[in-house]
Amino acid sequence: MSSKVLFTSCKYTKYDPDETLPRKFVRLIDAMNMGPTVKGKLVAIKMHVGRNIGYTTIHPMFVKILVDKLKEYGADVYLTDQTVEGAANRGYTREYFDAPIVDACGVTGKYFYPVDVNFRTLKNVDIAGNIKDADVLIDLSHVKGHGSCGYGGACKNIAMGCVTDRTRSQIHNLEGGLVWDKNKCVHCGLCVTNCNHTANSFDEDGNYTIDYHACTFCQHCSKTCPTHAITMDAARFNDFQEGMALCTSTVLKNFKPGHIFYINFLMNITAVCDCWGMSTAPIVPDIGIMASQDMVAIERACVDAIKVEDFIPSGAPSGQELGTEGHLLYRLHGRDPFVQINLLEKYGMGSQNYEIEEIK
Closest CB to ligand SF4 among residues 127, 210: 210
Residue 40 within binding range of ligand SF4, rule CB under 6 A: no
Binding residue (CB under 6 A) for ligand SF4 from 10, 115, 117, 185: 185
Cβ–Cβ under 8 Å, residues 179 and 233: yes
Residue 272 within binding range of ligand SF4, rule CB under 6 A: no
Residue 225 within binding range of ligand SF4, rule CB under 6 A: yes
Binding residue (CB under 6 A) for ligand SF4 from 134, 159, 162, 195: 195
Residue 200 within binding range of ligand SF4, rule CB under 6 A: yes
Closest CB to ligand SF4 among residues 110, 184: 184
Residue 149 within binding range of ligand SF4, rule CB under 6 A: no
Q: Which stretch binds ligand SF4 (CB under 6 A): 14-22, 102-110, 180-188, 336-344?
A: 180-188
**Cβ at position 233, least distance to ligand SF4 in Å:** 12
173 phi, psi to nearest 5 deg? -70, -10
Q: Which stretch binds ligand SF4 (CB under 6 A): 20-28, 167-175, 218-226, 261-269?
A: 218-226
Q: Which stretch binds ligand SF4 (CB under 6 A): 11-19, 159-167, 186-194, 282-290?
A: 186-194
**Cβ at position 274, least distance to ligand SF4 in Å:** 20
Binding residue (CB under 6 A) for ligand SF4 from 42, 107, 186, 234: 186
Q: Which stretch binds ligand SF4 (CB under 6 A): 212-220, 247-255, 279-287, 349-357?
A: 212-220
Residues that bind ligand SF4 (CB under 6 A): 185-191, 194-195, 197, 199-200, 208, 210, 215-221, 224-225, 227, 229-230
